[in-house]
Structure 1
Amino acid sequence: MARLPVRLTPGASADRIDGWDADADGRPVLKARVRARPVEGEANAALIQLLAKSLGVSKASVSLARGGQSRLKMVEVAGLDDDDLRARLTGM
């Protein structure tokens, strides 16, 4: 199971992945934007759908491990290891 740190921006004009950035501690984090608002888990659900589509896996394979109420989230992807995950996100 691969773990993916994500910085989510809800309420964007389009659902998209903006590439890699660094958090305050210098660790890599994937930047993502979704149209959904952060109300009743809608933005988290949109993030899971966006990542599943981008990675070519089912929505059931993507889960939110931590950060349900935060912009910084840790997402787990079943069926992929960290190398596969990075390879599929290369160029985003």
Structure 2
Amino acid sequence: MSEAPIRLEREALVVRLHVQPGAKRSQWAGCHGGALKLRVAAPAVEGKANEALVRFLAEFCGVPRSAIEILQGEASRTKRVRIATPDPQAVAARLATIASPALSD
């Protein structure tokens, strides 16, 4: 069994993502390969998809953009992202609602 897509840390959480650039709009799309799947409405050109990813996550998680750090996968669809927050459990619970329907399949 693979590792969970959301890992809690002190004052942060690390999320495994599968990012699909060039979508019509930025939105969650369930899970893919043990990661949360996110479609972003920006092309994978000159870092635009990563910028859209950070902007979307910051808004969804209610944190400033500076609290989002791409740890791994800057040039890949598969990414590990760290989200700094004073309440990582609340953000993890919100993200888990994205994963729940797909994980129960």
TM-score normalised by the chain length of structure 1: 0.84
Q: How does 1:1-92 map to 2 (within 5 A)?
A: 1-19=12-30, 21-23=31-33, 28-79=34-85, 83-92=89-98
State the 1:72 CA deviation.
0.2
Structure 1: gaps of 5 or more residues:
none
Q: Contact between 1:2 and 1:81, CA under 8 Å: does it hold in 2?
A: no
Q: Deviations over 1:49-70 (max 9, x none)?
A: 1111111111111111110011
TM-score normalised by the chain length of structure 2: 0.74
State the 1:38 CA deviation.
0.6
Percent of residue pairs bearing the same amino acid type: 34
The 1:53–1:69 alpha-carbon spacing in structure 2 relative to 1, beyond 3 Å, is same
Structure 2: gaps of 5 or more residues:
1-11, 99-105
Aligned residues: 87
Paired with 1:80 and 1:22, the residues of 2 have a C-alpha distance of 28
State the 1:89 CA deviation.
1.6
CA RMSD, 1 decimal:
1.6
Structure showing greater radius of gyration is: 2
State the 1:84 CA deviation.
3.1
Q: Contact between 2:13 and 2:92, CA under 8 Å: does it hold in 1?
A: no
Higher helix proportion (structure 1 or 2)? 2
